[in-house]
Amino acid sequence: MRLAEIAKALKVTPGENWEEITITSVSFDTRSLQPGALFIPLVGDHDGHDYLTQAIDKGAAATLWQTDHRLPATDFPILPVADTLAALQKLANYYLIKINPQVVAVTGSNGKTTTKDMIAAILETGFNVQKTHANFNNQIGVPMTVLGMEPNTEVLVVEMGMDHFGELDHLSRLVEPDIAIITMIGEAHIEFFGTRDKIADAKMEITHGLKEDGLLIYNGDEPLLRERTKELLQTTKTFGEAANNDYQALNIVGDEQRTSFRVACWPEENITVPMIGSYNVNNALAALAVGDYFHLPVEKMIAALTEFQATANRTEWLVGKKQERILSDVYNSNPTAAHLVLKAFSQAPTSGRRFVVLGDMLELGAAAAKLHAGLAADIDPAQIDEVFLCGSQMASLAQALRDKFDSTRLHLYASNQKAKLIADLTAVIEPADLVLLKGSHGIHLEEVLAALR
């Protein structure tokens, strides 16, 4: 866009020659800023206004500037705004209306990134698609995703995260989705909400900006969601394993590499996703429901799911330096996700042994001890040879496992003892073994993954 158009969108008086200045991207981080960018200095742990000189040196064409900061003495094009984050969001909404793609918004306590990737893979068989990069799913990431669209984008697939009331409301109204998806209700962020009922209330905020003729696709096996959608005026579709779902999964079969299933409405079609765990079937069902809404042929959707690439560190199989196979899921963890991946890992075939490495699950508040201890139900000593636990919260799980595992098979480390954990784990691994790594990102089990590889 021309800088003059951006100024008009933000209700800023344009400067001289701004009609001649073309903005080719936006950036709030000078480390990745490209020439021709509009620099948006955000105020956080570091104040972006302090980096204007670096932005200019990297080739920025103009900058926003928050009016509670002293204006620099420069001829560089500056757009003064009351709040740079709010201006970023306003500009994103303006650009979204200008490009006018169909918008698919995805949220849920677990599975939203994988579902987003599956939806994009399916829709790319028939449309020009832009999707959220990695997990840029917050108040900054969503508008940056919007502003990253190519002008020919036909469908925008946006992931939306939240850990407080009001966040999804704001994001949903920002992008006004044509389709909204809720993958599931778990215990993620229960520290802030207190109950699963309140988490369900917060997830339903994704419908607040849903177009009047829009569609909500949700997990129909979740009573909390069925109850909350009764008064919704928009069309709804459900997915799950129960027979009363619009998209019902049948004949789920999996191994350590992939999971296959059928869908009741297409009983002749066998569908395979290259991911472990029956829980990924629900993610695939949500994606198939979106593709069906866009009238894509079933055979194209199936082919897309067979070959889709998931975002890194979402339950992906990797090979370690001893040729052991590692199931890496180190980006995030919550009780629902941990239970599901433990069940899947315990059933993965191997001629060797299975080792489980679990890090603390964060943001569980007063329920943390109980929810960590509850994972013991899915750790069977007949299937799991040794357990390595990392973090202060994992002490509760260690206590719950002491009746099942003796001290030679159960190990507990503080979060700053990962070097010891790595040494102990490396000493016992052999080529035919399987290793599961699962923990919240704040525990940094990616350090263990790097050492094993």
The number of beta carbons lying within 10 Å of the beta carbon of residue 328 is 22
Q: Is the dihedral of CA 447, 448, 449, 450 positive or negative?
A: positive
Please name the residue that has the structure tokens 């972006």: 48
Confirm whether residue 370 is marked as ligand binding.
Answer: no
Mind giving me the DSSP string for 154-186? -EEEEE---SSTTHHHHHHHHH--SEEEE----
Confirm whether residue 280 is marked as ligand binding.
Answer: no
Residue at 18: amino acid letter: W
Contact call for residues 66 and 83 (beta carbons, < 8 A): yes
E runs forming strands in 150-302: 155-159, 179-182, 215-219, 235-240, 247-254, 259-263, 266-273
Contact call for residues 383 and 346 (beta carbons, < 8 A): yes
Confirm whether residue 30 is marked as ligand binding.
Answer: no
Confirm whether residue 113 is marked as ligand binding.
Answer: yes
Confirm whether residue 114 is marked as ligand binding.
Answer: yes
Q: Phi, psi at residue 405, to the nearest 5°?
A: -125, 135
Confirm whether residue 109 is marked as ligand binding.
Answer: yes
Task: Compute the 3-state secondary structure of the chain and give helix, strand, coil in percent, each to the nearest 5.
Answer: 35, 20, 40
Confirm whether residue 27 is marked as ligand binding.
Answer: no
Closest alpha carbon to 247 in 210, 277, 205, 284: 284
Known binding-site residue numbers: 108-114
Residue positions in the annotated binding site for ATP?
108-114
